[in-house]
Amino acid sequence: MKFLNSKQNIDFMGKRQIALVFSLVLILIAIGSIVARGLSLGIDFTGGTLIEVGYSEPANLESVRKALVDSGYGDSSVQQFGTPRDILIRLASSADADSSRLSNEVFAALSKAADSKVELRRVEFVGPQVGDELAEDGALAVLVALIAILMYVAMRFEWRFAVGSVIALVHDVIIVVGLFALLQIEFDLPVLAAVLAVIGYSLNDTIVVFDRIRENFRKMRKGEPVDIVNRSLNETLSRTLVTSLTTILVLLALFFLGGEIIHGFAFALLVGVLIGTYSSIYVASTSILMLGVSKADLMAVKKEGVVDDRP
């Protein structure tokens, strides 16, 4: 295929100003959504009761929701869990919450409204304090991951590359989380795991690009930094596209065939892979150019006092 030809010469960096404006607009929208609307946190973070029930025949979600509304649980979340006969119900936490009483009342309401046999399979309760701890630990996990990445890239490459990679990762995380706030999609632990996976995926893609940039800076005797970065991006484009497209195919299968329970997880990864691929090309590479990377910064340091005693 023509776009996978390693000899193509696409002027990526010639459009970096447009990409910069595009990224700034996305980030502003994301931050505005987070501030104005906030995240729709799941019970993993807010606390509440999770109830799993099984039906002998495929259940109608609208009928289940109507039964819960009629019983005074209109703020509950209802999802299919695995098969059409398995239903997962999430109830928000309250001051006088009693998981045993809630589960019994919900089960009684569903049994009364159902035409088939209903089985109560499990009940889990997450207290508000545990939810707050999970939210804090999740944010801390993202922060620690970014700091560790900054240190790793700085040791392997150069401090400009480290800063550029972290800028790209923060860019990706803000946009993914902001989209969840904008669309008010439930943000729970699987989604947080997806955000951490996005960090790993985007970093891997960025490291591949940075490695080729460093190699070309040392190999090419002539050429401005913009030209060298452009050539490096063109040389790694085929690998980037193949990796991204195959990953997206798997995520699309998960999103459409994996059931409603992992929609948030698959959606976060889909958005993250797309944004991560874009940021590896434009955000990370543009950042190191703006920080003034040059050939002298990447040349191998020659040790003084070393005598070549070869004949």
Residues 249-275: pLDDT tens digits?
999 999 988 877 788 999 999 999 999
pLDDT above 70 (res 302): no
Give φ, ψ of 122 to 5 degrees: -160, 155
Q: Which of 126, 156, 185 is the last residue of a domain?
A: 126
CA distances from 299 to 154, 218, 235 (A): 15, 6, 21
| CA atoms of 203 and 270, how far apart (whole Å) | 16
pTM of the model as a whole: 0.81
pLDDT above 70 (res 128): no
Pairing of strands 186-187, 40-41: parallel
Please report whether residue 259 resides in a domain.
Answer: yes
**Same structural domain for residues 234 and 117?**
no
Residue 160 has what pLDDT?
A: 87
**Same structural domain for residues 84 and 183?**
no
Please report whether residue 308 resides in a domain.
Answer: no
| CA atoms of 239 and 221, how far apart (whole Å) | 25
Bridge partners, 37 (sequence order)? none
Question: Could you report how far apart the first and last alpha carbons of the chain are, in Å?
Answer: 50
Please report whether residue 307 resides in a domain.
Answer: no
**Same structural domain for residues 177 and 277?**
yes
Mean pLDDT in the chain?
Answer: 84
SS3 content of the chain, % helix, strand, coil (to 5): 65, 10, 20
Domain tally, the chain: 2
**Same structural domain for residues 122 and 134?**
no
DSSP one-letter code for 221: S
Please report whether residue 305 resides in a domain.
Answer: no
**Same structural domain for residues 134 and 217?**
yes
**Domain span at residue 107?**
48-126
